[in-house]
Chain A
Amino acid sequence: MAFMKKFGLAAAAVIGLVALSTPSLRAAEGAEEPQPTRQNWTFAGVFGTFDKAQLKRGFQVYKEVCSSCHALHIPMRTLAQPGGPGFTEDEVKALAATYTVHDGPNMQGEMFDRPGRPADYFPAPFANPEAAAAALGAAPPDMSLLGKSIKYERGFPKFLWDPLPLPGAVYQEVGPDLIYAILNGYTHDDDPNWNLYFPGHKIAMPKPLTDGQVQYKDGAPATVQQYAKDVSAFLFWASEPNMEYRKLIGRRVLVFLLVFAVLLYFTKKRIWADVAH
């Protein structure tokens, strides 16, 4: 028993040592970024749905600002899909026609330009990442999956309850929170490439948004904060266009399974009633 106690103490000591050394190790690195603040998103949680007006505004920010450098590799028809910004098919048709799409070859074997159609993907601003890098210094990432391809470390113990069905948990919005934080993180006025939240603080993208840059039609404030919020929501939708439907089906599946499990429990109880076990 003495040996066992020693072993237990040693194990406790190891765990304590790790727990203690972790924050100090982190602090010693110095250049750590603060954690983004968790925002209130309409699409968070079990009953989350997208705010159509917000997605429309976010799309406007993408179209007028982001799209000059970033590709968004999704079909334009997605904009009219249920669970999205709620554009009508005619609106998307009209929007698609404003783009020129390189297509071909035609029957004569020649490539040609034509007006876009809803089935087309949003045309990329550069022919390839190399051209983007040559023009801008670094190739901006495609934004179609940005809503879930970037993250910040939640750290111990937060990561343990992030997935749990508890109030304040069910945290899947790490991506939009970080996008929002980065867009609001240009806090050094003398250095447009310094960002509070970007890993290492040096970001190739100079401050992209300024107050008043985008004119909203629905009376939402024309501020960087509002733009950042709207475009973050839009990008999360772009990365998960089926989210609303997924959660709807998920709720039904959970209710079904819950009822089914309860029925199975009572059936099992009945079957085992006369067996001592």
Chain B
Amino acid sequence: MHGHSTFEPKNGFVKWLEARLPILSFSHESFVAYPTPKNLNYWWTFGAILSFMLVAQIITGVVLAMHYTPESTMAFDSVEKIMRDVNWGWMLRYAHSNGASMFFFAVYIHMFRGIYYGSYKAPREVLWILGVIIFLLMMATGFMGYVLPWGQMSFWGATVITNLFSAIPFVGDQITVWLWGGYSVGNPTLNRFFSLHYLLPFVIAAVVGLHVWALHVVGQNNPDGVDIKDVKKDSVPFTPHATMKDSLGIAVFLLLYAWFIFFVPNYLGDADNYIPANPMKTPPHIVPEWYFLPFYAILRSIPNKLAGVVAMFAAIALLAFLPWLDTSKVRSGKYRPLFKIFFWIFAATAIGLGYLGAMPPEGGYVLAARLLSVSYFAFFLVILPVLGLVEKTKPVPATIADAVLAKH
């Protein structure tokens, strides 16, 4: 995408650098002159919010790692030491643990926004798939991070999730032992989870780089789902317009984040994780962190272990196929009256599954989780492919400028 103005080095040093490494003109094109559709709403600030959260998690995480001990007899106490004795340790740790939740909260909004406005459709398939990869990496990182405090839920959560791999036919048990580094979750498991928990955020950062690159090649989608045709009429320069709007979005998001850190820091965590890991004592209910609950509900709603695991991973993998499952020619949900309704049913399904994932797997909960799992998969495999063929869409404006005019 070509910008509003071009970068012209004036200063001698900038000229010198420009001839050797054109990083300043690249940054200028990407974050200053980059044309941003002028009809973006606040749901589009979540990209910036997520970038902020990634950096916040890396900074707090690196400092926490300076005080944390990844050893099974010392990990729990080292976290308590951080909470009680390290200067600002309580804040770093609460910022990091609640930061994970905020990160997922923001990514779910970002994903639902992408689905609602058809952001995965051509030519943004690769951009979307990179997003799904980031989501998967986030899940792995979040899961391993939750194991590190080595509380009861850390240990038993790790046991349940790593045991899923034993469902793989023939080699499942060997793979599980290989993952554990022993015959059960133990010190080697904790140690490697720490190593990977430190590594993966940087992998995420790299894929985010690709995600932003892909975004800047194809340009941002927007609420009306029509591409920029005339840079002057349809777009505004990224800086100051989007920069300032994103900053406002981040500041408001920070209010929520700070509320959790300082006033309800333990609301999203499980109380059991303040009990040191005890391999001899299973907690009555093993519940993962809230951001895994919809997938956990799908896993548990299928009585066969292997089928449950496959369904759970399929629930995530299907996201990557959205560009081809959705057959509609119209990109934005704004002009798709039927899709809109199914979108909200899908959102309610995901929230419902999240609630059921936290409930004990008994009685009415199981039945409800099964029905909602069917509803979840039906959205991808039945509704989206069929809807594109039968739905009568509303007229789509020719340009972003027209869409804006129609609004005023």
Known: A239-B274, A275-B241. A21 touches B84 (CB 8 A): no
Is A246 a contact of B248 with CB atoms below 8 Å? no
Is A246 a contact of B262 with CB atoms below 8 Å? yes
Residue ID in chain B nearest A21 by CB atoms: B364
**A137 CB–B CB distance under 8 Å:** no
Binds A, one of B164-172, B250-258, B303-311: B250-258
Residues 252-280 (chain B) with a chain A CB within 8 angstroms: 252, 254-255, 258-268, 271-272, 274-275
Is A18 a contact of B267 with CB atoms below 8 Å? no
Binds A, one of B104-112, B129-137, B155-163, B366-374: B366-374
Is A14 a contact of B368 with CB atoms below 8 Å? yes
Known: A250-B258, A276-B404, A276-B408. A18 touches B368 (CB 8 A): yes
Is B352 a contact of A151 with CB atoms below 8 Å? no
**A163 CB–B CB distance under 8 Å:** yes
Known: A141-B275, A261-B248, A277-B404. A17 touches B91 (CB 8 A): no
Residue ID in chain B nearest A26 by CB atoms: B363
Is A276 a contact of B275 with CB atoms below 8 Å? no
**B5 CB–A CB distance under 8 Å:** no
Is B90 a contact of A246 with CB atoms below 8 Å? yes
A73 to chain B, nearest CB (A): 8
Is B80 a contact of A144 with CB atoms below 8 Å? yes
Is B355 a contact of A145 with CB atoms below 8 Å? no
Chain B CB within 10 Å, residue with most, of A7, A156, A162, A165: A7
Residue ID in chain A nearest B365 by CB atoms: A18
Chain A residues in 8 Å Cβ range of B261: 250
Could you say which interface size class chain A belongs to? 35 or more
Binds B, one of A101-109, A187-195, A207-215, A263-271: A263-271
Is B275 a contact of A149 with CB atoms below 8 Å? yes
Chain A residues in 8 Å Cβ range of B85: 75
Chain A residues in 8 Å Cβ range of B266: 148, 172
**A260 CB–B CB distance under 8 Å:** yes
**A134 CB–B CB distance under 8 Å:** no
**A258 CB–B CB distance under 8 Å:** yes
Is B91 a contact of A254 with CB atoms below 8 Å? no
> CB-defined interface of B88-112 with A at 8 Å, one 1/0 digit per residue?
0011001000000000000000000
**B211 CB–A CB distance under 8 Å:** no
**A247 CB–B CB distance under 8 Å:** yes
Is A22 a contact of B364 with CB atoms below 8 Å? yes
Is A277 a contact of B38 with CB atoms below 8 Å? yes
> CB-defined interface of A120-150 with B at 8 Å, one 1/0 digit per residue?
0000000000000000000001001100111
**A199 CB–B CB distance under 8 Å:** yes
Known: A14-B368, A175-B271. A8 touches B345 (CB 8 A): yes
Chain B residues in 8 Å Cβ range of A251: 262
**B348 CB–A CB distance under 8 Å:** yes
Chain A residues in 8 Å Cβ range of B90: 242, 246
Query: A170–B39 Cα gap in the complex (Å)?
Result: 37
Chain A residues in 8 Å Cβ range of B245: 268, 272
Chain A CB within 10 Å, residue with most, of B83, B284, B364: B364
Chain A residues in 8 Å Cβ range of B355: 156
Tell which of B275, B364, B375 touches A11, judged by Cβ atoms closer than 8 Å: B375
Chain B CB within 10 Å, residue with most, of A20, A73, A264: A264
Query: A73–B372 Cα gap in the complex (Å)?
Result: 45
**B19 CB–A CB distance under 8 Å:** no
Is B84 a contact of A74 with CB atoms below 8 Å? yes
Residue ID in chain A nearest B94 by CB atoms: A246
Chain B residues in 8 Å Cβ range of A241: 84
Is A149 a contact of B363 with CB atoms below 8 Å? no
Is B338 a contact of A4 with CB atoms below 8 Å? yes
Is B352 a contact of A7 with CB atoms below 8 Å? no
Is A149 a contact of B271 with CB atoms below 8 Å? yes
A187 to chain B, nearest CB (A): 23
Known: A14-B368, A17-B368. A264 touches B247 (CB 8 A): yes
B6 to chain A, nearest CB (A): 21
**A25 CB–B CB distance under 8 Å:** yes
Query: A151–B264 Cα gap in the complex (Å)?
Result: 15
A130 to chain B, nearest CB (A): 11
Chain A residues in 8 Å Cβ range of B209: none
Chain B residues in 8 Å Cβ range of A156: 355
In the assembled complex, 8 residue pairs joining A and B whose CB atoms fall closer than 8 Å, in A order, are: A7-B342, A7-B345, A21-B363, A149-B275, A250-B261, A250-B263, A257-B251, A268-B245
Excluding A21-B363, A268-B244, 20 further A-B contacts by CB distance (< 8 Å) are A4-B341, A8-B345, A11-B349, A15-B368, A17-B364, A18-B365, A75-B85, A149-B272, A149-B274, A163-B260, A165-B263, A172-B263, A172-B267, A246-B91, A253-B262, A257-B251, A261-B251, A268-B247, A275-B241, A276-B38
Closest 8 CB pairs of A and B: A250-B262, A21-B364, A149-B274, A151-B271, A261-B251, A163-B267, A145-B274, A264-B248
